[in-house]
Amino acid sequence: MRGTLSVIGFGPGSFEHMTQAARDAIQDSEVIIGYNTYVDLIAGLLSGQQIVRTGMTEEVSRAQEAVRQAEAGRKVAVISSGDAGVYGMAGLIYEVLMEKGWRREDGVAVEIIPGISAINSTGSLLGAPIMHDACTISLSDHLTPWDLIIKRVEAAAAADFVVALYNPRSGRRTRQIVETQRVLLRYRSADTPVGIVKSAYRDRQDVVVTTLGRMLDHDIGMLTTVIIGNSATVVYDGLMITPRGYQRKYTLGDDIQPLKPHERLRPEAEPWSLEARLGGSPAQSLTEDGAELLSAGGSVPVAERESAASGLASAATQAVASSAVAESVSPLELALEALWLVDARRGTAAEPARLEGTGTTEAPWLLQNAFRRQEILEFAVSPGLAEKKLTSAQLTLLADVVGEDGSIEYTPHHQWLVRIVTGDPGEAVSRLKEAGLMLAPVGDVAQIKACDFCDMEKVDSVPYLEELHNRIGGMKVSKELRIGFNGCGMACYGAVKDDIGIVYRRQRFDLFLGGKTVGRNAHAGIPVAEGIDPEKLVETVEKIVRRYADEAHPNERFHKFFNRVKELEGYRYRELPVFQIENALCGD
Ligand code: SAH
């Protein structure tokens, strides 16, 4: 009978984190071969198997013994911690077999059973530090020349890999980790988050989140894995989290703007992609020398790498998404919705959950690295609530503030969408405000759009407009909310087509709710009231908007919300005549 050799990774060391296949193979075996500590860890699974225990340094003899027993026709299990194929027994077993001229068709049957490696088990205890491109580097120089190991550390550092250091330190090998930290610090900020996990999922488990600068102040030993974050990794509430991507948009008030579904996966939104680099997109202007500098890695002085990074950043700002309306949902949106539902069940959902804790104040190191995340400040600019004219001085200033790297996009909403590459909004914002320009956050907020009141001749209703703006302008809501405010019955700025339409007529107000502002089946709002007393107007609209802010589902547009709740401030939803018309995505 042919013998069998199962090379089993049993995971970090707890029973629950061992796969069923690993348990079965251990129970089915006749002989178990492994390092003493590992045999103890699986003691609960044993039922009279012969145990061959060996000490740490006898790996080769263990492999040879395993092959010998299997060749004698026995069922042999070789156990290895984590995954047997990661600095484990799997390769060694094959080396011994190859030396003996083993063949798959007639030699002993070999099966490698995968397990959870330390990079995964320790990562899970730290939060989500891996997430992006990562590598493992063993600092053990028993079998690998130190010169090669440190070269790999340097290459990983230069390429902004998340790095999991295995075998970081032992009683005798104490200088390797010191040297490794020194090289990493040449490429990454001392504030880079670092996780140190000892004995993951074992009795003496210990989890520490620290920084690259301070990592050596902590206990690091044989049973420790050290995870070094990349330049975008942040710490949030004691957890180490590496974001999925490198771009971050935010608006006034530091509200993070996740890329919309249609903004993702497009070459314009990914100026760093190979496709964008080769194609004729604006991203091609990505400085050729910048790209070379980045790939040259280690030999490039920090200042040059900084400038290369800003080349990347400038290309990113041109990656401006259009106003397409896509119904598809991104993984990020799904995650946000799931969080919101969990909070709602707990009764703690004040508003849909946002990715918090990635603000620049908590993560100053984001700005310090060659591969820093791109900080793009995005906001809307207009000459004023009712004012529609710009002076040439304002235009000149705007051009100056936006500079070469930023962009200005003219939108359908009487405003410019301005994007500036900066992590510090302060100066740009105050200069624009001083020049009399009005700045507003963008995204899922309430925005008031007024007409020009016939060149400011019909100004009677303007105080109500200003009061309304003071109370609800910029308020966070589930989905962008446009409130149109027109100063006469002509309503020539189209208030009745907005989510909420307000029209001043004969010293009183008409109110329209639930316009569908885009799409081929766009329609005006439902006229719910005529002749509202001016003293009641602001309060009524504020209550409606607050209810929408409090009760709408994530991403629920105002017209859908009105249709669902059926009643707002006593105004009832009414069905409009329906035209059957196929909804079309932008660009179709
Ligand atoms: N095959 C194993 C790695 C063996 S090398 C695996 O895939 O995980 C030994 C190194 O692995 C240790 O020095 C430590 O860096 C890491 N390691 C293994 N198990 C660990 C655990 N439970 N907690 C933390 N680190 C661990």
Across 3-7, 31-35, 179-183, 192-196, least confident range: 31-35
Considering the chain, what percentage of its residues have pLDDT values greater than 70? 78
Across 204-213, 364-373, 510-519, least confident range: 364-373
Q: Is a pLDDT exceeding 70 seen at residue 247?
A: no
Say how many Å lie between the CA of residue 92 and the centre of ligand 1: 17
Phi, psi of 545 (to 5 degrees): -70, -40
- pLDDT band with cut points at 50, 70 and 90 for residue 44: confident
**Which is more confident, 300 or 244?**
244
Taking CA atoms only, the protein residue closest to ligand 1 atom 11 is: 166
The mean of the pLDDT values for the chain is: 83
- CATH code 3.30.950.10 region(s) in the chain: 119-241
CATH architecture classification, 446-567: 2-Layer Sandwich (3.30)
Question: What top-level class would CATH report for the domain 4-116?
Answer: alpha beta
Residue type, 326: A
CB atoms within 10 A of CB 358: 19
Strand (E) positions, 18-156?
31-35, 50-54, 75-80, 109-113, 127-128, 134-138
Say how many Å lie between the CA of residue 378 and the centre of ligand 1: 44
**H or E, element range at 471:** helix 462-472
**Which is more confident, 339 or 373?**
339
**H or E, element range at 482:** strand 481-486
Across 165-179, 309-323, 459-473, 490-504, least confident range: 309-323
Q: Is a pLDDT exceeding 60 seen at residue 316?
A: no
Spatial neighbors of 247 by CB under 8 A, at least 6 apart, are 259, 269, 316, 373, 374, 376
Task: Give the pLDDT mean for 293-313.
Answer: 37
- Rounded to two decimals, the pTM is 0.62
Q: Is a pLDDT exceeding 90 seen at residue 68?
A: yes
Spatial neighbors of 20 by CB under 8 A, at least 6 apart, are none
Task: Return the exposure string of 228-254: e unless at least 16 CB atoms fall within 10 Å of the residue's CB, then b.
Answer: bbbbbbbbeeebbbbbebbbbbbbbee
Task: Give the pLDDT mean for 204-231.
Answer: 97
* Gyration radius of the chain over CA positions: 31
**Contact of 190 with 231, CB cutoff 8 Å:** no
Taking CA atoms only, the protein residue closest to ligand 1 atom 18 is: 118
Taking CA atoms only, the protein residue closest to ligand 1 atom 6 is: 82
Say how many Å lie between the CA of residue 166 and the centre of ligand 1: 6
- pLDDT band with cut points at 50, 70 and 90 for residue 202: very high
Say how many Å lie between the CA of residue 13 and the centre of ligand 1: 10
Looking at ligand 1, which atom is closest to the CA of residue 222?
13
- CATH code 3.30.70 region(s) in the chain: 359-442
In the chain, % helix, strand, coil (3-state, to 5) comes to 35, 20, 40
Spatial neighbors of 203 by CB under 8 A, at least 6 apart, are none
- pLDDT band with cut points at 50, 70 and 90 for residue 57: low
At residue 149, the 3 state secondary structure works out as helix
Q: Is a pLDDT exceeding 70 seen at residue 270?
A: no
Question: What top-level class would CATH report for the domain 359-442?
Answer: alpha beta
- pLDDT band with cut points at 50, 70 and 90 for residue 364: very low
Report the residue among 41, 138, 225, 227 best suited for mutation to probe ligand 1: largest number of ligand atoms under 8 A from its CB.
225
- Please give the pLDDT value at position 530: 95
Say how many Å lie between the CA of residue 584 and the centre of ligand 1: 53
Across 98-102, 411-415, 534-538, least confident range: 411-415
- Please give the pLDDT value at position 400: 94
Phi, psi of 478 (to 5 degrees): -65, -35
Taking CA atoms only, the protein residue closest to ligand 1 atom 13 is: 167
- CATH code 3.40.1010.10 region(s) in the chain: 4-116
Say how many Å lie between the CA of residue 34 and the centre of ligand 1: 15
**Which is more confident, 497 or 577?**
497
Q: Tens of pLDDT along 18-27?
A: 999 999 999 9
Task: Give the pLDDT mean for 58-83.
Answer: 93
Name all residues whose Cβ lies below 6 A of ligand 1: 12-13, 80-83, 86-88, 117-118, 121-122, 166-167, 197, 199-202, 222-225
Which CATH number, 2.40.160.20, 3.30.950.10, 3.30.465.10, 3.10.180.10, labels domain 119-241? 3.30.950.10
**Which is more confident, 283 or 334?**
334
Instruction: Say what the alpha-carbon torsion angle 343, 349, 352, 355 is, to the nearest 10 degrees.
Output: -60
**Which is more confident, 565 or 522?**
565
Residue-by-residue DSSP string for 239-252: EEE--SSSEEEEEG
Instruction: Say what the alpha-carbon torsion angle 485, 487, 492, 493 is, to the nearest 10 degrees.
Output: -30
Q: Is a pLDDT exceeding 50 seen at residue 309?
A: no
Say how many Å lie between the CA of residue 118 and the centre of ligand 1: 5
